[in-house]
Copies of this chain bind each other. A is one copy, B any other.
Amino acid sequence: MEIGDWRKKIDELDEQIVRLINQRAEAAHEIGVLKQASNLPVYEPQREQQVFDHVCRNNPGPLADAELLHVYERIIDVMRTLQRRDHES
Protein backbone atom coordinates (compact mmCIF):
# COMPACT_ATOMS: atom_id res chain seq x y z
CA MET A 1 0.00 0.00 0.00
CA GLU A 2 1.17 3.52 -0.82
CA ILE A 3 0.79 6.72 1.20
CA GLY A 4 -2.43 7.59 -0.68
CA ASP A 5 -3.99 4.22 0.18
CA TRP A 6 -3.16 4.60 3.87
CA ARG A 7 -4.61 8.11 3.82
CA LYS A 8 -7.83 6.76 2.33
CA LYS A 9 -7.93 4.24 5.19
CA ILE A 10 -7.32 7.05 7.71
CA ASP A 11 -10.20 9.07 6.21
CA GLU A 12 -12.51 6.05 6.61
CA LEU A 13 -11.38 5.55 10.20
CA ASP A 14 -11.93 9.25 10.92
CA GLU A 15 -15.52 9.01 9.67
CA GLN A 16 -16.15 6.23 12.21
CA ILE A 17 -14.27 8.01 15.01
CA VAL A 18 -16.20 11.25 14.40
CA ARG A 19 -19.51 9.38 14.56
CA LEU A 20 -18.60 7.58 17.78
CA ILE A 21 -17.27 10.71 19.52
CA ASN A 22 -20.59 12.40 18.72
CA GLN A 23 -22.53 9.42 20.08
CA ARG A 24 -20.39 9.74 23.20
CA ALA A 25 -21.31 13.43 23.36
CA GLU A 26 -25.01 12.56 23.12
CA ALA A 27 -24.65 10.15 26.04
CA ALA A 28 -22.70 12.78 28.03
CA HIS A 29 -25.46 15.27 27.29
CA GLU A 30 -28.09 12.87 28.64
CA ILE A 31 -26.00 12.35 31.78
CA GLY A 32 -25.72 16.15 32.10
CA VAL A 33 -29.50 16.48 31.99
CA LEU A 34 -29.94 13.76 34.64
CA LYS A 35 -27.25 15.34 36.83
CA GLN A 36 -28.94 18.71 36.58
CA ALA A 37 -32.28 17.20 37.62
CA SER A 38 -30.58 15.65 40.69
CA ASN A 39 -28.32 18.62 41.46
CA LEU A 40 -25.20 16.53 40.92
CA PRO A 41 -21.91 18.26 39.97
CA VAL A 42 -20.64 18.15 36.35
CA TYR A 43 -17.10 17.44 37.49
CA GLU A 44 -16.73 13.95 39.03
CA PRO A 45 -13.01 13.13 39.30
CA GLN A 46 -13.70 9.54 40.40
CA ARG A 47 -15.73 8.77 37.26
CA GLU A 48 -13.10 10.41 35.05
CA GLN A 49 -10.45 8.17 36.61
CA GLN A 50 -12.67 5.14 35.88
CA VAL A 51 -12.87 6.23 32.22
CA PHE A 52 -9.07 6.58 31.98
CA ASP A 53 -8.58 3.15 33.63
CA HIS A 54 -11.12 1.56 31.29
CA VAL A 55 -9.45 3.10 28.24
CA CYS A 56 -5.99 1.83 29.25
CA ARG A 57 -7.31 -1.66 30.03
CA ASN A 58 -8.76 -1.78 26.51
CA ASN A 59 -5.71 -0.36 24.73
CA PRO A 60 -4.43 -2.93 22.20
CA GLY A 61 -1.56 -0.65 21.06
CA PRO A 62 0.50 0.46 19.15
CA LEU A 63 -0.24 3.67 21.08
CA ALA A 64 1.25 3.85 24.55
CA ASP A 65 -1.27 4.34 27.38
CA ALA A 66 0.15 7.84 27.94
CA GLU A 67 -0.48 8.78 24.29
CA LEU A 68 -4.03 7.46 24.41
CA LEU A 69 -4.68 9.31 27.68
CA HIS A 70 -3.36 12.46 26.03
CA VAL A 71 -6.21 12.14 23.51
CA TYR A 72 -8.76 11.17 26.15
CA GLU A 73 -7.96 14.14 28.38
CA ARG A 74 -9.08 16.28 25.46
CA ILE A 75 -12.21 14.19 24.84
CA ILE A 76 -13.23 14.45 28.52
CA ASP A 77 -12.47 18.18 28.48
CA VAL A 78 -14.80 18.72 25.51
CA MET A 79 -17.56 16.57 27.08
CA ARG A 80 -17.35 18.55 30.33
CA THR A 81 -17.68 21.82 28.39
CA LEU A 82 -20.75 20.36 26.68
CA GLN A 83 -22.36 19.44 30.03
CA ARG A 84 -21.61 22.92 31.41
CA ARG A 85 -23.21 24.43 28.29
CA ASP A 86 -26.29 22.28 28.98
CA HIS A 87 -26.39 23.44 32.60
CA GLU A 88 -26.33 27.08 31.55
CA SER A 89 -28.96 26.83 28.83
Q: Which A residues are within 8 Å of any B CB, using their own CB?
A: 1-3, 6-7, 9-11, 13-31, 34-35, 47, 51, 54-55, 58-63, 67-68, 70-71, 73-75, 77-78, 81-82
A3-B17 CB under 8 A given contacts A22-B61, A22-B63: no
A36 vs chain B, min Cβ distance (A): 11
> Is the contact region of chain A dominated by helix, strand, or loop, or is it mixed?
helix
Number of copies: 2
* Cα(A14)–Cα(B21), bound, Å: 9
Contact of A21 among B26, B63, B81 (CB under 8 A): B63
B14 with A24: CB separation less than 8 A: yes
B34 with A6: CB separation less than 8 A: yes
